[in-house]
Amino acid sequence: GENVEQHPSTLSVQEGDSAVIKCTYSDSASNYFPWYKQELGKRPQLIIDIRSNVGEKKDQRIAVTLNKTAKHFSLHITETQPEDSAVYFCAASPNTGGFKTIFGAGTRLFVKA
Amino acid sequence: SAVISQKPSRDICQRGTSLTIQCQVDSQVTMMFWYRQQPGQSLTLIATANQGSEATYESGFVIDKFPISRPNLTFSTLTVSNMSPEDSSIYLCSVEWTGVGYTFGSGTRLTVV
């Protein structure tokens, strides 16, 4: 089955710096890669996703890159702000619409003001 | 995306008892998913609840411990049976829409004493 590894487990950056979180996956059948942000005491929320037919996707300060050959994908947050502090989870799935999604272990991001 | 109502939001239960968690979706969905998130950990899939058939359980989870009902396309319940302190965790239901990833319920924080 699918296995998703996520690094680092903890990341601390200064406000305004960039943050990068990396994930690898094992199942070549995976072709949908969402990222979730979970603030303390709240539910995970989708912040960006990418499909295997795209190499990069950007939404304001957040971008995700995918290297399907190497089976890794990354989340990039630029100009970090204190409100970006949260736990971020990567995930992989064969598709959307009812297929099982496997989550990475999570990265706890601290943005220091 | 869907709106999911999950209850109870939290409960403190005696060991040996059972708790049933309810999840109501505002739209019809084929599959609903139940996840467990232990403190500081990632999300682990317990089972996939299919309407009209038995739930599909992941390795390490069994129906006797986590019975699931799915009486219609908008509702599901997860029961945590014969609870022990090790069952203390957050339990989340979720649905997945094509193109928008998972939407999670608000979670049930369970403490077993």
Q: Which of A37-46, A93-102, B24-33 comes out lowest in average pLDDT?
A: A93-102
Give yes or no for a contact between B109 and B9, defined as CB atoms under 8 angstroms apart.
yes
In the numeric block, the tokens 């999670």 are attached to B104
Q: In chain B, what residues touch A100 (CB-CB under 8 Å)? A: 33, 45, 48
Which pLDDT does position A96 carry in this prediction? 61
B53-78: pLDDT as tens digits: 889 999 999 999 999 999 999 999 99
**Confidence label for A97 from pLDDT (cuts 50, 70 and 90):** low
A27-80: pLDDT as tens digits: 988 989 999 999 999 999 999 999 888 899 999 999 999 999 999 999 999 999
> Using CB atoms and an 8 Å cut-off, which of residues 33-62 of chain B contact chain A?
33, 41-45, 48
**Confidence label for A2 from pLDDT (cuts 50, 70 and 90):** confident
Q: How many CA atoms lie within 13 A of A63 on its CB side?
A: 14
pLDDT at A12 over 90: yes
